[in-house]
Chains A and B, each alone.
Chain A
């Protein structure tokens, strides 16, 4: 087909209208889910974590996370006596296959699962130049893949190292708190499979959620509180050496 001037003038507006529909996106998938009724976070109980890596494997499978990249991972800490400021931390393959080798002797050893803290004042959202990263009205920090430029500002900004650049799409990659699951009434993949209940999804706006009772009755910490990020991943039984 020859492209004449006349034809091009007809095609261009048609393409523009079509593009607009592409950008408009699909409507929300969960009709009964109300954005304003929830405020999501997570509870991580260090005293229960056995470092089996089931969460890491489940996350990779649920979210098609490429090999060598992690949206959640498990670290093993080794802290010798008074060297609280110099812990030895290891996380071979993100702890994906569990820790079958014994930890170093002396001092104390424990596991720390990590993931995006879904901060209320999230630094990654603040630095995004195009509005590709945002916090939803129900408190989850997400990435809009179609908007992300791949500039990596957010990766530098995250104080928790929770972001990476997807090697295929070249867009920012992060934990979505299994947004496609929690909006359907399911829990996240990592919380679903955690065999000891060390990870628990929490809806802070739900008065019936057991998280409220737990937060009241336990000594709770968040990672790097001095960064004032408003982290919503709460840790129970966390040692002061955890960075």
Chain B
């Protein structure tokens, strides 16, 4: 007994559906990046791309490899904890090509004040001055040497 006399429209519908499924699978494979879903619902390769960016700050270890004289001076003073690039700015380019890329000379009136200008919001133990009263218009580095800021008395120098 033949229940369905006319089946052609069903076959056509099935064919359309099969083509649609195949098209979906092909398009999805082509358009979704290979690394999508590697670690989660995102493109795994994005992690590597973010990590591949170049650095701007070389890091104090890099500076210290060449500037050993400054390291020795800094060791004697309180600024030993301050990284080179905190004041001198990003120097990765200088580290790569020390000959042609030179760091700019710093303006101590700006650089010192950022940290040491007196402010009641700063921790009370941190050394602070009101620049206008303290220096009398003199540049900070006319008395304090930035790498070793303490001003030595004569006896201390003799030691």
Residues of A within 8 A of B (CB): 16, 19-20, 23-30, 33, 35, 47-54, 57-58, 61-62, 76-78, 97-100, 102-103, 105, 109-111, 131-137, 142, 144, 146-147, 176, 179-181, 183-184, 186-187, 189, 192-197
Report B-chain residues with C-beta under 8 Å of the C-beta of A144: 42-43, 46, 49
Is B47 touching A28 in the complex (CB atoms < 8 A)?
yes
Report B-chain residues with C-beta under 8 Å of the C-beta of A197: 81
Report B-chain residues with C-beta under 8 Å of the C-beta of A16: 30
The smallest C-beta distance from B4 to any residue of chain A, in angstroms, reads: 40
CA distance A19 to B30 in the complex (A): 9
Interface size class of B (residues with CB under 8 A): 35 or more
Interchain Cβ contacts within 8 Å, total number: 164
Report A-chain residues with C-beta under 8 Å of the C-beta of B89: 57, 61
Asked if B21 is at the interface (CB within 8 A of a chain A CB), the reply is no
Is A61 touching B50 in the complex (CB atoms < 8 A)?
no
Is A142 touching B59 in the complex (CB atoms < 8 A)?
no
Asked if B48 is at the interface (CB within 8 A of a chain A CB), the reply is yes
Is A134 touching B51 in the complex (CB atoms < 8 A)?
no
Report A-chain residues with C-beta under 8 Å of the C-beta of B60: 192
Residues of B within 8 A of A (CB): 30, 33-36, 39-43, 45-57, 59-60, 81-83, 85-86, 89-90, 113-115, 117-123, 126
The smallest C-beta distance from B63 to any residue of chain A, in angstroms, reads: 11
Is B55 touching A186 in the complex (CB atoms < 8 A)?
yes
Contact A25:B59 (CB < 8 A) given known A100-B117, A144-B42, A193-B85: no
The smallest C-beta distance from B18 to any residue of chain A, in angstroms, reads: 21
Is B121 touching A25 in the complex (CB atoms < 8 A)?
no
Q: Please list 26 pairs of residues, one from A and one from B, whose beta carbons are closer than 8 Å in the complex, sorted by A's number.
A: A25-B35, A26-B48, A50-B115, A51-B121, A52-B115, A58-B57, A58-B86, A61-B56, A62-B55, A100-B113, A102-B118, A103-B119, A109-B120, A109-B121, A111-B121, A133-B42, A134-B41, A147-B42, A179-B47, A180-B55, A183-B51, A189-B56, A189-B90, A192-B57, A193-B57, A196-B126
